[in-house]
Amino acid sequence: MSDRFTADQIAAGRRLFGGPSRFVMGAAGLEHLPPASAVEIAVAGRSNAGKSSLINALTGVNGLARASNTPGRTRELNFFDVNGRLALVDMPGYGFAKAPKSEVKAWQAVLRGYLRGRPGLTRAFVLIDARHGILKADEDMLDLLDEAAVTYQIVLTKADKITPAELAKVTAKVAAAMKKHPAAFPEIHATSSVTGAGIPELRAEIAGLVETL
């Protein structure tokens, strides 16, 4: 267990995600967004970064979030209710340029509108594949979050796929990069949806955001 979190904080995270979690709806445009929750947490990441797996690991519900069969083509914000206290928002994966430029531009306008004007949007977690670190597509998303002044935090995924030494190296490199981003929260989570490593700490982080509001 990370020394950043006490046993009580870990327990609070377990209680939050121990209740029922359900899919609410997908929204393809700002006019389709559901009523805002008191606390909304957005989850962003490149296609194949492991967003669906992470959401399923956090909630303990296999198959709650499903990856698109065609990476980079899903153009919806998917809303999940967690225990009636939190909305998790699965943002479309980015980094695959399979859609027409006009479609990409229109979807980016939707994302900007959501990030800039959504009441209750408390933090975004940006998932980075630990094997690859921050790529150009990730930088574009970080710049968008900086522009929207949404506080965000990096979550390294697939940490089980590399050695502890490699994980320490990529964590340090990402931490250094985050110092250049004004909206970035400095602490980084390293997780594995396969082994469960880092999941209790990430739950504790999110529970702390819920309980402070």
- What's the rounded mean pLDDT across residues 3-29? 93
Tell me the whole-structure pTM to 2 decimals.
0.92
Are the CB atoms for 118 and 148 separated by under 8 Å?
A: no
The span from the CA of 79 to the CA of 39, in Å, is: 12
Residue 114: its pLDDT value, please?
Answer: 92
Q: Given this model, what pLDDT does residue 96 score?
A: 61
pLDDT tens-digit profile of 33-43? 999 888 999 99
Assess whether pLDDT exceeds 80 at residue 101.
no
- Interval 86-112 mean pLDDT: 80
Phi (first) and psi of residue 84, to 5 degrees: 70, 10
Q: What's the mean pLDDT in 50-64?
A: 93
Give me the residues paired with residue 200 across strands. Answer: none
Residue 9 has pLDDT above 90, yes or no: yes
pLDDT digits (tens, 9 = 90+) for 110-125: 888 999 989 899 999 9
Summary mean pLDDT of the chain? 90
What is the arrangement of strands in the sheet containing 21-27, beginning at the earlier edge strand? 21-27, 77-82, 86-90, 40-45, 121-129, 152-157, 189-190
> Regarding the domain delimited by 7-211, which CATH topology (the fold level of the hierarchy) does it fall under?
Rossmann fold (3.40.50)
Is residue 98 pLDDT above 80, yes or no? no
C-alpha Rg value of the chain to the nearest Å: 16
What integer pLDDT is reported at residue 54 of this predicted model?
96
How many Cβ atoms from other residues are within 10 Å of residue 209's Cβ? 16
Selection from 132, 120, 130, 40 nearest residue 77 by Cα: 40
Residue-wise pLDDT tens digits, 140-198? 999 999 999 999 999 999 999 999 999 999 999 999 999 999 999 999 999 999 999 99
DSSP character at residue 34: P
d(CA 210, CA 202): 13
Which residue would you say has higher pLDDT here, 100 or 78?
78
**Distances in whole angstroms, Cα of residue 28 to Cα of each of 34, 51, 147:** 11, 18, 22
**Cα separations (Å) of 26 from 33, 88, 170?**
8, 12, 33
Confidence (pLDDT) at 107: 79
